[in-house]
Amino acid sequence: MIDMREVGVRVLAGDLASEELPMIAAQALAEGLDSPSLRELAGLSRGEYREACELLDQVVDELGLPALPDADQAVWEVVVSYARRLVSGALTPVDGAHAIAACAGSLGFPEPLATFAFLADLWESNAAEHAQLEQDMVREAEAMLRGVGD
């Protein structure tokens, strides 16, 4: 089932284009979620992305979900989601490292995230070391998740 709070977090973090919100809202309605603002959001065109972003807060509130975070916290939530997926195997280590590194820039490359950028760059230039670098990526993700209480 679509988690509209997660959708909102991804939009705030720049991980999902706001133009996608009407289609996602329509899918959420088809899955059984319902609220007045969700119906309104589903009826917007892709070009009405400003209105879609404004409605998103209302959708989250009407569905009784926790409030959306600020933009920086949203990026961190997306990073944690990528780390969880990397550790679980739902995302390859190199794809997870690249995704986390892409998020790092908007946060000023804090140390734990800069490491993922470094490992992803090493992976690209050292084919013989792929297996070891992937293990390092998983270990870094595990360490980061321990740091956030996962």
What pLDDT digit, counting tens, does each position of 59-112 carry?
999 999 999 999 999 999 999 999 999 999 999 999 999 999 999 888 888 888
State whether residue 5 is helix, strand or coil.
Answer: helix
pLDDT 10s digits, 2-38: 999 999 999 999 999 999 999 999 999 999 999 999 9
- Across 128-136, average pLDDT: 95
123 and 78 fall within a common domain = yes
State whether residue 110 is helix, strand or coil.
Answer: coil
Host domain of residue 132: 71-147
50 and 77 fall within a common domain = no
CA distance 77 to 84: 11
95 and 28 fall within a common domain = no
What sign does the CA torsion over 70, 72, 74, 80 have?
negative
Residue 149, pLDDT score: 62
User: Which one-letter amino acid corresponds to residue 139?
Assistant: R
10 and 53 fall within a common domain = yes
Residue 69, pLDDT score: 96
What sign does the CA torsion over 33, 35, 40, 44 have?
negative
- Across 106-122, average pLDDT: 90
Model confidence, pTM = 0.87
For the chain, how many structural domains are there in total?
Answer: 2
The distance from CA 23 to its chain's CA centroid, rounded to whole angstroms, is: 18
CA distance 78 to 97: 13
Residue 39, pLDDT score: 97
95 and 53 fall within a common domain = no
Whether the per-residue pLDDT at 150 is higher than 80: the answer is no
CA distance 43 to 35: 13
State whether residue 37 is helix, strand or coil.
Answer: helix
56 and 89 fall within a common domain = no
58 and 98 fall within a common domain = no
The residue out of 62, 85, 101 marking a domain boundary is 62
Q: Which two tokens stand for residue 82?
A: 């990528």
